[in-house]
C-alpha cells in the first residue's frame, strides 16, 4: 500500500505544553481493547501508581465487540486527569509511549484508505495544523512517503469496507479531483467556485449513491466528468451566478438558524459551538440580515489589500483542504459531501467577520494583518473542533440550493 501525505503534515511537530489550546481537554478519549491490555500490562510495573491510574479508567462491559471498550474519566475542569502541571502527559512520562492511548498518540493525524492508497492529512481541530495549512508554501500537494504507515492500534478509516469494486468507490476519487479542480480555479471568487461545485453535485450526481447506483446514474456521471474539461463552463456558471439576486428573507432565515445554536435550541449537545455563536452574535450587535451584511461589507472594505489577499488565500486553502481531508467516501452521495463544504465555508466566514470586530484605522498594515490572521486561525480551529469532535449537526442549514443562493450575501 502506498502512503501519500499532504505537504504541510511533513512539517508537523506537536507543540506539547506550549500549544495555545491543548487536545487533552473538552472531548473524550476512547480506549480500544488493545489500549486497555497494554495499559494494564504497563501498570503492573508501577505498583505505587496503579490505583491512581486505574481510578480514571472507565470500562464498558457491554462493548466487548466494539472498536472502543473504555474511556478516560475527565476531571471537573473537563481535562484529562493525566495532564500534569507542565500541560504534558503524565501517563506518557510514567509508563512510556507504549501506554499512551492510540487516539492520543495519533492525533491530529488522520489516515484514510482508498483501495491501495493510504492518505495522511491533519485535523484542523489542532491549532498547529491550522497554522501550517495557512502559513506553509504549497501545503496541499500530496507527497509520497513510503516510510509512513497507520498506527498499529488504530486502523485507517476505510469507507469502502471491502466494496472497492463498487461504482461509488471506483469513481469517488475522480469526483473529488473534479471538485478540487473547480475549487482551485482562483480566476473566480470562492463563492462562484462553491456554486460550480454545488450546481454540478445537485444536478449531475443525485442518483449516484454509495449504497447502490443504477447503470444510468453511472453513465450520467461518466458523461459529466468528460464534459467538465470544457474551460467555458466555469465562465458561463459565473455569469449566471453573478445575476442571482440576494434574498434578504432567505438570509434572515439562515442567520436565525445560526443564532439558534447560540441560544442552545439548535445544538443543545454542543455548548462549545453555542458559546462561539454567542460571542460572534455579540460582535455583530444585531441579528438582522441587512445589518449583518452591512457590517461584514464595512469590515471587509476596511481591510488593506494585503489583508484581503491573505484572507482570500486562507479561505481557498480551507475549502480545498476540506475536500481532501473530509473523505467523499464517508458520505452517501455527492450533494451531501458538497453541502458540508458550503456550510463550513459559509459559517466560518460569518464567524470571522463577527469575531474580527471593528477594524481600527490606527492599525498599521502589519498590525491589521496580524489581527486578521489571529482571528481567522481561531475561527478555523474552533469551528473544526466543534465539527470534528462534537459531531456538529448543521442540518438546519443543509438545503443546498438555498445555501448556494445565500452565498451571494457574502
Residue 228: which residues within 8 A CB-CB, separation 6 or more? 178, 181, 200
Question: Which of 405-408's residues contact partners 24+ apart within 8 Å by CB, and which partners?
Answer: 405/244, 405/247, 405/250, 406/247, 406/250, 406/251, 406/254, 406/346, 407/191, 407/194, 407/195, 407/342, 407/346, 408/191, 408/241, 408/244, 408/245, 408/246
- Among candidate residues 21, 27, 49, the one with its CA nearest the CA of residue 103: 27
Domain map (residue ranges) of the chain: 24-106, 163-410
Q: Is 163 helix (H, G, I), strand (E, B) or coil?
A: coil
- Among candidate residues 186, 172, 223, 222, the one with its CA nearest the CA of residue 328: 172
Whole-prediction pTM: 0.89
399/250 Cα distance (integer angstroms):
11
C-alpha cell at 328: 467523499
8/391 Cα distance (integer angstroms):
25
C-alpha cell at 210: 454509495
pLDDT tens per residue, the chain (410 residues)? Answer: 899 999 999 999 999 889 988 888 877 788 888 888 888 888 777 666 666 777 788 777 545 555 567 888 888 888 898 888 888 888 888 888 888 888 899 999 999 988 888 999 999 999 999 999 999 999 999 999 999 988 888 888 887 777 777 777 777 888 888 889 889 988 888 988 888 888 777 766 666 676 666 677 777 777 777 766 677 777 877 777 777 777 778 778 888 888 877 666 544 456 778 888 889 999 999 889 889 888 999 999 999 999 999 999 999 999 999 999 887 777 777 888 888 888 889 889 999 999 999 888 889 999 999 999 999 999 999 999 887 765 566 666 666 666 666 666 66
355/201 Cα distance (integer angstroms):
32
Cα angle: 143, vertex 148, 152; to 5 degrees: 145
Amino acid at each position: 500500500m502506498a502512503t501519500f501525505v499532504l505537504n504541510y503534515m511533513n512539517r508537523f511537530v506537536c507543540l506539547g505544553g506550549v500549544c495555545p489550546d491543548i487536545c487533552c481537554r473538552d472531548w473524550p478519549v476512547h480506549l480500544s481493547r488493545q489500549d486497555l491490555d497494554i495499559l494494564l500490562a504497563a501498570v503492573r510495573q508501577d505498583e505505587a501508581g496503579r490505583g491512581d491510574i486505574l481510578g480514571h479508567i472507565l470500562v464498558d462491559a457491554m462493548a466487548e465487540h466494539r472498536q472502543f471498550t473504555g474511556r478516560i474519566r475527565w476531571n471537573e475542569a473537563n481535562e484529562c486527569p493525566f495532564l500534569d502541571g507542565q500541560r504534558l502527559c503524565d501517563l506518557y512520562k510514567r509508563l512510556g509511549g507504549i501506554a499512551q492511548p492510540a487516539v492520543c498518540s495519533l492525533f491530529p493525524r488522520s489516515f484514510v484508505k482508498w483501495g491501495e492508497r493510504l492518505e495522511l492529512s491533519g485535523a484542523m481541530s489542532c491549532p498547529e495544523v491550522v497554522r501550517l495549512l495557512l502559513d506553509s508554501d504549497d501545503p496541499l500537494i500530496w507527497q509520497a512517503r513510503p516510510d509512513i504507515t497507520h498506527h498499529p492500534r488504530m486502523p485507517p478509516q476505510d469507507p469502502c469496507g471491502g466494496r472497492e469494486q463498487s461504482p461509488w468507490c471506483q469513481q469517488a476519487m475522480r469526483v473529488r479531483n473534479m471538485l478540487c479542480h473547480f475549487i482551485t480555479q482562483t480566476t473566480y471568487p470562492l463563492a462562484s467556485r462553491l456554486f460550480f461545485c454545488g450546481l454540478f453535485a445537485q444536478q449531475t450526481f443525485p442518483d449516484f449513491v454509495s449504497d447502490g447506483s443504477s447503470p444510468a446514474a453511472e453513465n450520467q456521471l461518466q458523461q459529466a466528468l468528460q464534459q467538465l474539461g470544457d474551460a467555458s463552463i466555469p465562465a458561463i456558471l459565473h455569469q449566471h451566478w453573478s445575476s442571482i439576486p440576494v434574498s434578504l428573507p432567505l438570509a434572515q432565515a439562515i442567520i436565525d438558524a445560526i443564532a439558534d445554536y447560540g441560544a442552545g435550541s439548535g445544538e443543545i449537545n454542543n455548548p462549545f459551538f453555542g458559546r462561539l455563536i454567542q460571542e460572534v452574535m455579540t460582535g455583530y450587535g444585531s441579528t438582522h440580515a441587512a445589518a449583518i451584511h452591512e457590517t461584514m461589507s464595512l469590515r471587509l472594505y476596511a481591510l488593506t489589500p494585503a489583508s484581503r489577499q491573505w484572507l482570500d488565500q486562507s479561505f481557498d486553502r480551507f475549502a480545498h483542504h476540506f475536500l481532501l481531508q473530509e473523505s467523499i467516501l464517508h458520505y452517501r452521495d455527492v450533494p451531501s459531501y458538497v453541502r458540508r463544504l458550503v456550510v463550513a465555508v459559509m459559517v466560518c466566514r460569518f464567524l470571522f467577520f463577527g469575531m474580527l470586530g471593528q477594524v481600527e484605522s490606527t492599525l498599521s498594515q502589519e498590525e491589521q494583518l496580524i489581527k486578521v490572521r489571529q482571528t481567522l486561525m481561531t475561527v478555523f480551529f474552533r469551528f473544526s473542533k466543534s465539527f470534528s469532535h462534537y459531531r456538529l449537526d448543521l442540518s438546519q442549514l443543509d438545503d443546498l440550493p438555498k445555501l448556494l443562493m445565500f452565498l451571494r450575501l457574502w
